[in-house]
Amino acid sequence: MADRKNFSRYNMRCGVLLHAKEGGVKITNIDAPELDPRFMLLTGSDMPGDNTLTLFSNTRPIITDSIISYPRQAVAALFAPDYESALLMADEIKIETEPLEEEPQQSLPYPLEYMWGDFNPEEDEEAGKYRKVETEFTLGHKAQPERRLYTVTAWIDGASLHIEAPTEWIELVRSTVQKVTGYPKRNIIIHTIPYISKNGEFLIDPAALAAIAATSALRTGLPSEIREETMNAHPGIVVKRETWIDEEGKPVSEKATMTVNQGAFLVIPEEYQRQAMAGLIPPYSLKSFHGSVAIETSNEYPAAFTTSFGFSEALAATEYHISRLAEKTELTPYLFRDSIEKDKRKFTDYLPSFDLADQKRTAEAVAIKSSYNRKWVANTFQHKSFGFLGYIKGIGFASGTGIAGFSTTFSKSSGFAGAITYTQKHSVVVSTSADNHPGTMKRWKKNISDRLAPGNPDKVTFTPIFNNETIDTGPDVLSRIVASFSSQLENASKKLAVLKDEEQLPVSIRFDAENTSFPCEFESSGCGAVALEVMIRQCDMKPVVTAIWASFSFPAILDETSLKNSLKRTLMTTVHEFGGVIEDDFSLYLEISASGSGTLSSPQELARGLAIGALADALMQAGGKTAASMPVSSTKIEEIFHE
């Protein structure tokens, strides 16, 4: 990899974006004062090539040139010799708009439906035997700038165009820059900045910023940096569910409808539907089930990946619903789960059949550690009453199974791949675009060199090029290739160890999802349970999360400390994202175990789903249904108790 930027900051252009104030309008005029040559204003029409960012089949403008679809959409970029000048001048530029006469329609995918069984309790002869339980689970669309600034820099060095950015998907940056500037892909060198992507903020936006910065660098001939605030944008979700339960409270038939508001632009909606469906299917057996996931758009900020791509949210809705079903029996939600979940989970097109013993074990561990049953009963007595204590408590419970990476359908159609080559110089070249985690790269190097170049890990190098083309291993989140990359790399190394002695060098093996057969859309990747306690004090109405107890079981654990840290972080940030307040006396109990062999994948997705589900459940017990419509806030809680 070429050296990172090494140029004077005093000889560079600093850029800021001009954002739209509202969505659903049309730009009529951009009124800018006369700019001296040191400034450069880039509008949509100034972009040299294709002014779009393409996420699979969906596109969106990088800088809009006519229709403003959502608030905070980029309307122009302004480059100046320093940020002060850029920001002050940006204030002088006025964007005039008028309402749209007709809103442009995006082609939405049909709702994804999945069903089994034709048992209809309403038409059944013994209809009187069954009762219907209906619930609604809501996660409001959220789009707010986080507090974090990040920069994307572009500069030219000889024939190469260098981009420095925090990015989860290197190939998206490269292909977007190529499309906008026309610069050959091979000569675009990406330098990644270490990042933590709590809300998928570095998946899409850095690619657009890189294209803008690259345009400025090419036009001015000067290094150009652009600065933005990270956005936390997650979709709005409503899950309506009706379940028919028998006299003992056991569910027999269910209908679940999920509606997703992805904001102004669609983000791989078909894949979202599949992942959401995997979370929507309940873990208990049913005579009949009908699930549907519909995607909508709105004039709101486009949602991104938020650790999960629909699965966590759907899983949370399912877990929330199970606790509501439990209310119809005399059992606590934990005991109810234990009574309705069989030993094996039903095989569906979305998840294979597997033993639920591990899941039940984690649930039991959490229930015991948190004294769940006792607390649940005590809190039930105190429902909606502050009493003499001046506070009210709720305890929530959720348990479930995680999924690994992208779906089979998506992985096969996306073309994400990797390759490994044994060269004539007896060195090993791994072709992948996912080379942004030094820790993982070190581990891969060691594993590969053990097999192909013993004791010489430096003979293993990584490159994004394969057969003179750049290779796309997919985004850093959720990729099924990345999820099982380690094992695929391992298998390819094994094969290569034999081939290198049999065939003429160089010899390569390309691996992708296309040649692998998966029985279902997803594989299970560990399971777990979470209990969470919420306390609402009368004096401040804050939804304070006082404790979380969690237990997880994964197929394999590579680094226990890192995994525990990551899970703790996910549990806490998820709770915070949905309005839970964490104070100094917060405590977190976490245990993890390995169940055998296999690949660990997307553990945060499972933790997120269970945290949301448990939080909603706890809020429901403490404050009732409205509190569970998240994100929760002190204002919402005040409204409940004000009634």
Partner 1 sequence: MFAALSSPNIHTPRNMQEYSSIILHYPSSSFWAGGTYIMSRPDAYPSNSLNQEIIYLGGIEELHRFQRNDRFAEFGSMVTLDEIISTGKTVLPKVLIDNIENIGSRLITRRATIGGALASKDVITSFPGTLIVLDANVEVKFIKKKRLHSKWMQLTRLLDRNGHLVLPAQGMISRVRIAFTDKNYQNFSSVGSFMTKGDDAVAVAFATTLNQDLLLNPTIAFTYPKLGILYSRDVDNVLSSLRFPLDDKEYKSLEMILFTFIDSTFQNISELQRARTKGILRNIIDDLNEKALTVPQSEGS
Partner 2 sequence: MKIDCTIDGKTLTLSLNSNKPLSLILRENIGIDNINHCTGKMCGLCTVLLDGKAVLSCLVPAFELNGKEVITFDSFQRTRAMKDIEKAYEMVGAFPCTDCYSSRTMIFESLVNEGITDKAEILKQLSLVRCHCMVPDDEVEIVHKAIDLRRKRNVRRSQFS
Nearer to partner 2 (CB atom), residue 149 or residue 378: 149
Q: Binder to partner 2 among 106, 138, 151, 382 (CB under 8 A)? A: 151
Q: What does 569 bind: partner 1, partner 2, none (CB cut-off 5 to 8 Å by kind)?
A: partner 2
Q: How many angstroms separate the CA atoms of 451 and 361, rounded? A: 38
CA dihedral 349, 354, 358, 364 (to 10 degrees): 70
Cα 204 to Cα 152: distance, rounded to the nearest angstrom: 13
Nearer residue to partner 1 within complex by CB, 45 or 635: 635
Q: Is 638 in the site for partner 1 (CB under 8 A)?
A: yes
Asked whether 264 and 300 are in contact (CB, 8 A), the reply is: yes
- Cβ at position 148, least distance to partner 2 in Å: 6
Give yes or no for residue 437 binding partner 1 (CB under 8 A): no
Q: Phi first, then psi: what are they for 334, rounded to 5°?
A: -70, -50
DSSP characters for 588-608?
Answer: EEEEEEE-SSS----HHHHHH
Secondary structure percentages of the chain, helix, strand, coil, to 5: 35, 30, 35
Strand 112-116 and strand 288-296: pairing?
A: antiparallel
DSSP string, 464-484: SEETTEE-----SSS-HHHHT
> Closest approach of Cβ 540 to partner 1, in Å?
4
Residue 237, amino acid: I
Q: Quick count: other Cβ atoms within 10 Å of Cβ 261?
A: 17
Q: Judged by CB under 8 A, which of 89, 204, 363, 563 binds partner 1?
A: 89
User: Residue 390 Cβ, how far from partner 1 at the closest point, in Å?
Assistant: 7
Tell which one of 26, 141, 148, 537 touches partner 2 (CB under 8 A). 148
CA distances from 283 to 104, 240, 319, 337, 527 (A): 40, 17, 9, 9, 12
Contact with partner 2 (CB under 8 A) among 83, 92, 495, 519? 83
Residue 463 or residue 633: which is nearer to partner 1 going by CB?
633
Which is nearer to partner 1, 134 or 540 (by Cβ)?
A: 540
Give yes or no for residue 584 binding partner 2 (CB under 8 A). Answer: yes
For residue 384, give every residue at least 6 positions away whose Cβ sits within 8 Å of its Cβ, in sequence order, or none: 392, 623, 624, 640, 641
Length of the chain measured in residues: 643
Site string for partner 2, 501-530 (x = CB under 8 A): ------------------------------
Q: Is residue 457 a contact partner of residue 445, using CB atoms and an 8 Å limit?
A: yes
Question: Do you find a cis peptide bond into 506, omega within 30 degrees of 0?
Answer: yes
From residue 386 to residue 425, the character string flagging contacts with partner 1 as x (rule: CB under 8 A) and all else as - is ----x-----------------------------------
Within 66-85, which residues bind partner 1 (CB under 8 A)?
Answer: 80-85
Q: Any contact of residue 635 with partner 1 (CB under 8 A)? A: yes
Q: Which is nearer to partner 1, 353 or 538 (CB)?
A: 538
Q: Is 3 in the site for partner 2 (CB under 8 A)?
A: no
Please report whether residue 119 would count as binding partner 1 according to CB under 8 A. Answer: no
Taking the complex as a whole, how short is the minimal distance between the CB of residue 564 and partner 2, in angstroms?
7
* Residue 123, contacted partner among partner 1, partner 2, none, CB below 5-8 A by kind: none
Residue 490 to residue 485: CA distance in whole angstroms: 8
Query: Which residues make beta-bridge pairs with 151?
Result: 227
Determine which residue in the list 346, 586, 598, 626 makes contact with partner 2, applying CB under 8 A: 586
- CA-to-CA distance for 366 and 355, rounded, in angstroms? 19
Binding mask 165-194 for partner 2 (x = CB under 8 A): ----------------------------xx
Output the smallest distance, CB 634 to partner 1, in A: 6
Give the shortest CB-87-to-partner 1 separation in angstroms.
5
- ∠486-476-139 over CA atoms, to 5°? 125
In whole angstroms, what is the distance from residue 197 CA to residue 202 CA?
6
In the bound state with partner 2, the residue whose beta carbon lies nearer, of 146 and 246, is 146
Q: Which of partner 1, partner 2, none has residue 565 at its interface (CB below 5 to 8 Å by kind)?
A: partner 2
Q: What is the DSSP letter of 194?
A: P
Among 541, 600, 614, 615, binds partner 1 (CB under 8 A): 541
Residue 78: Cβ within 10 Å count = 26
Q: What tokens does 609 get?
A: 């789903």
Closest C-alpha to 75, from 57, 51, 54, 56:
51
Which segments of 58-202 are extended strands (E)? 58-61, 67-68, 74-80, 94-99, 112-116, 131-139, 142-157, 160-165, 188-192
Instruction: State yes or no: residue 642 binds partner 1 (CB under 8 A).
Output: yes
Burial bucket for residue 149 (CB in 10 Å: 0-12, 13-18, 19+) = exposed
Instruction: Give the DSSP H or E segment for 374.
Output: helix 372-381
Site string for partner 2, 540-579 (x = CB under 8 A): ---------------------x--xx--xx--xx-xx---
Identify which of residues 93 and 588 has a Cβ nearer to partner 2 in the complex: 588
84 contacts partner 2 (rule: CB under 8 A):
yes
Which residue, 154 or 281, is less far from partner 2 as judged by CB? 154
Interactions with partner 1, residue window 36-65 (CB under 8 A): 38-39
91 belongs to the binding site for partner 2 (CB under 8 A): no
From partner 1, partner 2, none, interface partner of 501 (C-beta below 5 to 8 A by class)? none
To the nearest whole angstrom, how small is the minimum distance from the Cβ of residue 68 to partner 1?
23
For partner 2, the binding residues (CB under 8 A) are 9, 14, 82-84, 147-151, 193-196, 198, 561, 564-565, 568-569, 572-573, 575-576, 582, 584-588
For partner 1, the binding residues (CB under 8 A) are 38-39, 80-85, 87-89, 390, 537-542, 634-635, 638-639, 641-642
